[in-house]
Amino acid sequence: MTRPDAGRDIGTKSAERPIALGLALALTLALGWAGITWPNFGTANFALLLLLPVVVAASGGGRIAGLGLAILAGGVFNFVALEPRLTFSIAKSGDLLTLCIYALVAFMTASVAAQLAEAGERARQNAADSAMFSTLTQQLLSASTREQILQAVAKAIEACTTCPCVVVESISELNLSNSQDEAAARWAIVHYDMSGRGLPLFSEASSVYIAARAGRRDLLARLNGTAPPAARIGLARAMIDEAADALDRIDLAARIESDLRRAEREAMRRTIFASIGHDLRTPMTSLRAGLESLSIHEPDLVNPIRADALRLERTLDNLLELARLQASDALPERSTIDLTDTIDAAISALSQATRERVYVRIAEDTPLIQSDPIMLHHIVLNLLENAGKYSPTSTPIEILAYPIHDGARLSVRDGGPGVGDDVADLFTLFKRGSHSDSASGSGVGLSVVESFARALGHRVSVANRSDRCGAEFAIEFSNEARPA
């Protein structure tokens, strides 16, 4: 996952400093001994050589160590190279100027060397962080479950901060008993920020809490112990944000897969409906023709069979029209229609017994509407047949048409038991309401009504009657232009 030495960087640096200081001291003493042994080595040469331990100390031990070695090197330079030699006295004013210049150069050298060392260390650390983050990104891209993502980011944060870490999607998963910790965790989640021990907010908590700023969910990392340095926390925040995005990616992939499967099932269902409708329409037509010829001789025997055949044919017609509508992406073509003609045609298609129960009231000022004549015929016919099935034969079926503010309204009222709490299921294909035991049916008719009306831009509603028992189904036709 990460570099093997990622958690040992601080300890390694601490171990390197004494080594660098020891090497610088040894080099300074060795140069001092060499200056004593070879007095004619040259002042300028000796001064340049004494800058070497200053660079070593500043590079390995930092700016303070470099300045300390610069002072020590200045003392050695005075003791060995300036007259009178082997003393710390200065006989000439020129030598004092030389010592001052040397000290200034040594200080500048220590400062520059320390800055270069710090820049190099930052570059190495940034490279290591980039490699760590890149490795985490690759792991998150290859992860296929939420558990894999949470485990990968927890290990990465633990490696970069050297603090034990756990990443959760809910505060309840942490089982927090300390009120300060719970407050810190909740604050971090609400503000998409961080809080806890070692930070300005909720510093009394036992842990540090970092919330993701990305993604569509709450994602929280808990670091046990004091907050690490700012650079480490910044990397940890970037990691948890990346994990939040990865969780969103998994959710999106799951939704896409679910939508594809649903689309495949829907396509198969449409194909089956269309196939059934086409395959059975021809034999149904032949069956009806044969029953018509038989009814002359034995009407009492044939008429019930003919009624069942007619109902089956209408169900098949509904399914075929519904499959055709669902298989097409184009909106149905609408034309100007007189509701009087549509109602008369629907009533004529009913059985004789149902037809005699229908009472029509059409207001004189009912406007013409915009709809598809075939689909509207199916809508009205299905509403009338539904009213006939669910109301006693002694009760009337009322069909009303009248104008409304932007078009017309057609309603069909029955005298049945009305609708129950499962109103939403009435318009679902193959689902029937709570009173379905009182009448036969397949759960197709009202689904056709709702699907056709929605495709045509009409509004369907259903409610129990206020004047007596029964249900009222209504279609509202708006003459406003449909959106393309």
Is residue 400 in some structural domain? Answer: yes
Output the pLDDT for position 301.
Answer: 67
DSSP letters for 110-142 = HHHHHHHHHHHHHHHHHHHHHHHHHHHHHHHHH
Residue bearing the bigger pLDDT, 161 or 328 = 161
Output the pLDDT for position 430.
Answer: 52
- In percent, the amount of the chain with pLDDT more than 70 equals 80
Is residue 69 in some structural domain? Answer: yes
> 1 pLDDT exceeds 50?
no
Name all contacts of 308-312 with Cβ < 8 Å and 24+ positions apart: 309/284, 310/351, 312/284
Q: What value does the mean pLDDT take over residues 369-397? A: 90
Structure confidence by residue, pLDDT tens digits, 389-448: 888 888 999 999 999 988 999 999 998 888 876 666 677 765 555 555 445 555 677 888
CB-CB contact of 178 with 205 (8 Å): yes
Is residue 158 in some structural domain? Answer: yes
Residue bearing the bigger pLDDT, 431 or 345 = 345
Q: Of 482, 480, 463, which is closest to residue 404 (Cα–Cα)?
A: 480
Structure confidence by residue, pLDDT tens digits, 56-79: 777 777 778 777 877 887 777 777
Which residues constitute the domain of residue 53? 6-132
Q: How many domains does the chain have?
A: 4
Q: Which of 229, 254, 279 corresponds to the end of one domain?
A: 254
Most confident of 115-124, 247-256, 338-347, 351-360: 338-347
Across all residues in the chain, what is the average pLDDT? 80
307 lies in the same domain as 366: no
Alpha carbons 421 and 304: distance in angstroms, whole number: 34
Is residue 138 in some structural domain? Answer: no
Q: What value does the mean pLDDT take over residues 74-103? A: 74
215 lies in the same domain as 230: yes
244 lies in the same domain as 274: no
Token couple for 313: 């044919």
274 lies in the same domain as 195: no
SS3 label, residue 476? strand
Token couple for 125: 């650390």
Structure confidence by residue, pLDDT tens digits, 206-239: 899 999 988 888 899 999 888 888 888 888 989 9
Alpha carbons 58 and 104: distance in angstroms, whole number: 15
Output the pLDDT for position 37.
Answer: 75
Output the pLDDT for position 359.
Answer: 94
Most confident of 65-79, 157-171, 268-282: 157-171
β-bridge mates for residue 209, sequence order: 195, 222
Is residue 356 in some structural domain? Answer: yes
> 6 pLDDT exceeds 60?
no
> 259 pLDDT exceeds 70?
yes
365 lies in the same domain as 264: no
CB-CB contact of 433 with 425 (8 Å): yes
18 lies in the same domain as 114: yes
Q: What value does the mean pLDDT take over residues 110-125? A: 78
Burial degree of 142 (CB within 10 A; 0-12, 13-18, 19+): exposed
Q: Kindly report the CATH number assigned to the domain that includes residue 360.
A: 3.30.565.10
Structure confidence by residue, pLDDT tens digits, 395-405: 999 999 999 98
> 341 pLDDT exceeds 50?
yes
Residue 252 dihedral angles phi and psi, to the nearest 5°: -65, -40
Output the pLDDT for position 349.
Answer: 87
> 454 pLDDT exceeds 80?
yes
Output the pLDDT for position 401.
Answer: 95
Q: Kindly report the CATH number assigned to the domain that includes residue 212.
A: 3.30.450.40
Alpha carbons 27 and 302: distance in angstroms, whole number: 121
∠ CA 187-192-194, rounded to 5°: 65
- In percent, the amount of the chain with pLDDT more than 90 equals 20
> 363 pLDDT exceeds 80?
yes
Residue bearing the bigger pLDDT, 351 or 168 = 168
Structure confidence by residue, pLDDT tens digits, 21-57: 778 778 877 877 877 777 776 677 777 777 788 787 7
Q: Which of 254, 283, 312 corresponds to the end of one domain?
A: 254
Output the pLDDT for position 121.
Answer: 76
Structure confidence by residue, pLDDT tens digits, 294-338: 656 666 666 677 666 777 777 777 767 766 666 666 667 889 999
Output the pLDDT for position 3.
Answer: 41
Token couple for 323: 């499959």
Q: Which of 254, 269, 304 corresponds to the end of one domain?
A: 254
> 20 pLDDT exceeds 60?
yes
64 lies in the same domain as 88: yes
Is residue 484 in some structural domain? Answer: no
Is residue 1 in some structural domain? Answer: no
11 lies in the same domain as 128: yes
> 247 pLDDT exceeds 80?
yes
310 lies in the same domain as 185: no
Is residue 57 in some structural domain? Answer: yes
Output the pLDDT for position 398.
Answer: 94
Q: What value does the mean pLDDT take over residues 116-122? A: 77
